[in-house]
Homo-oligomer: A and B are copies of this chain.
């Protein structure tokens, strides 16, 4: 019995969200719908162009941890914030929903990372991330005892962009495996997959027990055009694959099983956090002994909740929303 269902490791970020028109995304020149890394100066430039914004705690894996907690699960988080207002906001928002978070803050004045999220009229989000202190998750920063005390260690693919952070994550994976725990990885972003394909392939094949990806990411990983081709490949590599397909729903597969899960109907406002909350539902289900299909349906419920409003974390109790499924 572990203290935690999951420990999530990721880039600790505060989201700065605004609604903008399509021309805005064209002007900034970044890839629409993707996450682009920017430096502090570029972040300030883009922010200056954005309209009135809303600030909310974000960070992909942190959103997942918050989602697991909202289901009533026991979640912990590892990440680094700065010793500043956004760092306090990030910490407060995780702890107040019941996520264990006590990673040391940056002490050298580096600010908390932020993600400028531009939501276009089609509800798609385009993200510009200045990592700040999140970038300081280095070897030695991952608490081995905490990793050993969680059923699943959940890792963001985004972390692969920083060599030292990558080493920290390799340590975390080793801690998890030596304690007999599972490792889950989200591929995070198609461009992220493209940058780290070789390493991600090795991870999925050798280290990772549960892989989360959307259709673009998984086809990008295997360099195939067709989702079904990617599905065949990943089923041979990884114990569980949880693959999202937007409005088409998702597919959960093992070597022996395959479940196609419909998307939950909702009013689409902002896709920020959709994948993160899908992961939360699936991980909550799997760590609570639910079958794959039910875990997938819980993931769909959580994703539907988060895309029905602005911001990357649930506004309603996911436990209450999922109650009919949890009583089965």
Answer yes or no: A84 CB below 8 A from chain B CBs: yes
Q: Are B89 and A53 in contact (CB under 8 A)?
A: yes
- A52 and B97 in contact, given A47-B92, A92-B47, A315-B19 (Cβ under 8 angstroms): yes
A 17-58 to B, binary, CB cutoff 8 A, 1 in contact else 0? 001000000000000000000000000000110111111110
Interface residues of A in 61-100 (CB under 8 A from B): 66, 84-86, 89, 92-93, 96-97
**What CA separation (Å) do A313 and B66 show in the bound complex?**
27
Answer yes or no: A311 CB below 8 A from chain B CBs: yes
A120 to chain B, nearest CB (A): 15
**Chain B residue contacts of A86, Cβ below 8 A:** 85
- A93 and B56 in contact, given A19-B315, A86-B85, A315-B19 (Cβ under 8 angstroms): no
Q: Are B54 and A96 in contact (CB under 8 A)?
A: no
Q: Are A52 and B93 in contact (CB under 8 A)?
A: yes
Interface residues of A in 284-328 (CB under 8 A from B): 311, 313, 315
Q: What is the oligomeric copy number?
A: 2
**What CA separation (Å) do A54 and B310 show in the bound complex?**
10
**Chain B residue contacts of A57, Cβ below 8 A:** 52
**What CA separation (Å) do A96 and B48 show in the bound complex?**
7
Interface residues of A in 256-280 (CB under 8 A from B): none
From A51, A55, A89, A311, residue with most partner B Cβ within 10 Å:
A55
A12 to chain B, nearest CB (A): 15
B47, B55, B84: which contacts A55 (Cβ < 8 A)?
B55
Select from chain B the residue with minimum beta-carbon distance to A49: B96
Select from chain B the residue with minimum beta-carbon distance to A44: B88
B51, B54, B96: which contacts A51 (Cβ < 8 A)?
B96
**Chain B residue contacts of A85, Cβ below 8 A:** 84-86, 111
Closest 3 CB pairs of A and B: A55-B55, A85-B85, A52-B93
Q: What is the interface of chain A, defined by CB distance below 8 A to chain B?
A: 19, 47-48, 50-57, 66, 84-86, 89, 92-93, 96-97, 111, 311, 313, 315
Show 5 residue pairs from A and B whose CB-CB distance is below 8 angstroms, ordered by the A residue: A47-B92, A48-B92, A51-B96, A54-B311, A55-B56
Excluding A51-B96, A52-B96, A85-B85, 10 further A-B contacts by CB distance (< 8 Å) are A50-B96, A52-B57, A52-B93, A53-B89, A54-B54, A54-B56, A55-B56, A55-B89, A85-B86, A85-B111
